[in-house]
Amino acid sequence: MRPAQPAYVPTAETRQCLSQLGAAEASFAPLPDKFHGAGCSTVNTVQLSALYGDDQRTLGIGNLGPVACPVANSFAGWARYGVDRAARSILGSPLARIETFGSYNCRNVAGTARRSAHSTANAIDVSGFVLADGRRISVKQGWSSGSRAEREFLRIVHTSACKRFGTVLGPEYNEAHKDHFHLEGGSRPFCR
């Protein structure tokens, strides 16, 4: 017989965050804490599989790994009240899916010796949006070369992300962010 695995017991703070995420009707699974060394860890993280939009619609999420629970909550609120609503009002179609370049990644901020928020799964890189009518709006193409409505949509959802996340970086920030929005948790407001 193999010894039983120790049960994963989340902290009270994480339990509260998980119940908030459940109330937002996100589909997710809590992940066990892992310490990867070199300043990298996934603590209090979840695997999000789907989010909830308006009108009982499910929103898909592409390519997302472990995300710190508070960031997952910000993401769920942004998807539903920021992105889905902007898609309906500006582009005339509900949102179907948010595409990402991922979340956890044990690395430094490009060009520095400082660990990125991705090293603790406290950031998500959003690369594009797929609408229910099949249109796909990528940050890379749409930010400067999209239709007038697509450019407006991307700017609106960038601005609304700034209300829910600590640090938000987009194509105007630097060359490294020309193809995605970096959405990072925390209390330090920084929106570019």
Query: Which residues form the interface with Zn ion (CB under 5 A)?
Result: 123, 125, 182
Cβ proximity to Zn ion, 14 vs 119, nearer residue? 119
* Residue 164 Cβ vs Zn ion, minimum distance, rounded to whole Å: 16
Q: Which two tokens stand for residue 19?
A: 């119940």
H/E run at residue 95: strand 95-102
* Residue 133 Cβ vs Zn ion, minimum distance, rounded to whole Å: 29
* Residue 170 Cβ vs Zn ion, minimum distance, rounded to whole Å: 11
* Residue 13 Cβ vs Zn ion, minimum distance, rounded to whole Å: 24
Q: How far apart are CA 158 and CA 191, in angstroms?
A: 9
Residue with tokens 């520095």: 112
Cβ proximity to Zn ion, 97 vs 182, nearer residue? 182
Cβ proximity to Zn ion, 153 vs 165, nearer residue? 165
* Residue 65 Cβ vs Zn ion, minimum distance, rounded to whole Å: 13
The burial class, CB within 10 Å (0-12 / 13-18 / 19+), for 57 is middle
Largest CA distance in the chain: 64
Query: In this chain, which residue has its C-beta nearest to Zn ion?
Result: 182
Q: Which two tokens stand for residue 1?
A: 């017989």
Cβ proximity to Zn ion, 80 vs 182, nearer residue? 182
Q: How far apart are CA 172 and CA 192, in angstroms?
A: 6
Q: How far apart are CA 175 and CA 192, in angstroms?
A: 12
Cβ proximity to Zn ion, 86 vs 169, nearer residue? 169
